[in-house]
């Protein structure tokens, strides 16, 4: 059973003007496709869906969309979301039908853990995350919420590659190159402000004396 159930209705009108009218009435347009079945244009409660979009697990879980009427229950994954670039609000959602045993590929977030204990951090180093997500292939009912990387032993100069991590059972990341996920960089060399100002004043003084000599 899924942790997320969304109530929806069939949407008869499509197009930008129709979706704008829907949003004004508190509805979120979307579509369900795939699985060898006809596409379903749907509407959902905007406030309900907006709150779900803020939950990371919502993006990597099998969802159940109950479409009012004969269309019934649809097991889906959130495949894509469109956003208003000005107002930063979701405007449309795409759902893809899946079965529990289907093999799927999707982006899963990378999360660094225990980095505050790392010797490199203690010495002033910085943890640089190169890959914030990984394209993971796994069963639809076994999608990991996130890929955790323990950074507690990392020293300055250490790098974590894809071959260095252990993925959840049944999950894999297809790769030809042992690419970098994160690394511990050296502390940035700071310049003392008083020293910098002193140098600037000295340079200015020398320039003034030079001008006077001329």
Quote the CA–CA distance of 37 and 93 in Å, as a whole number.
18
- Name the residue among 142, 139, 141, 158 with its Cα closest to residue 150: 158
Check residue 124 and give its pLDDT: 94
Domains in the chain: ranges and CATH: 4-98 (2.40.240.10), 104-185 (2.170.120.20)
Quote the CA–CA distance of 112 and 157 in Å, as a whole number.
16
**pLDDT of the chain, 214 residues: tens digit per residue:** 457 999 999 987 766 777 777 878 889 999 999 988 899 999 999 999 999 999 988 998 899 999 987 667 899 999 999 888 888 888 899 999 998 889 999 999 999 999 999 999 999 999 999 999 999 999 998 889 899 999 999 999 999 999 999 999 999 999 999 999 999 999 876 544 444 444 555 555 555 455 555 5
Please provide the distance, in angstroms rounded to a whole number, between the alpha carbons at the two ends of the chain. 87
Quote the CA–CA distance of 171 and 84 in Å, as a whole number.
33
Q: Which two tokens mark 155?
A: 């020293």
Q: Among the residues of the chain, which ranges form H helices?
A: 16-24, 46-53, 119-122, 193-213
């Amino acid at each position: 059973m899924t942790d997320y159930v969304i109530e929806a209705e069939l949407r008869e009108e499509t197009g930008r003007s129709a979706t704008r009218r829907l949003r004004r009435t508190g509805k979120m347009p979307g579509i369900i496709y795939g699985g060898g079945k006809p596409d379903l244009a749907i509407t959902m409660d905007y406030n309900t869906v907006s709150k779900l979009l803020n939950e990371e697990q919502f993006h990597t879980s099998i969802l159940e969309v109950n479409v009012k009427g004969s269309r019934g229950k649809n097991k889906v994954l959130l495949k894509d979301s469109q956003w208003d670039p000005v107002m930063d609000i979701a405007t449309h959602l795409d759902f893809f039908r899946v079965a529990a045993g289907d093999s799927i590929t999707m982006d899963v977030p990378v999360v660094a853990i225990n980095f505050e204990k790392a010797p490199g951090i203690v010495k002033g180093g910085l943890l640089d995350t190169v890959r914030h997500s990984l394209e993971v292939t796994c069963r639809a009912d076994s999608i990991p919420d996130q890929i955790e990387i323990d950074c507690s032993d990392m020293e300055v100069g250490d790098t974590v590659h894809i071959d260095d991590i252990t993925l959840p059972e049944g999950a894999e990341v297809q790769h030809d190159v042992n690419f970098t996920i994160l690394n511990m960089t050296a502390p940035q060399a700071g310049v003392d402000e008083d020293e910098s100002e002193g140098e600037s004043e000295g340079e200015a003084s020398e320039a003034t004396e030079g001008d006077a000599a001329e």
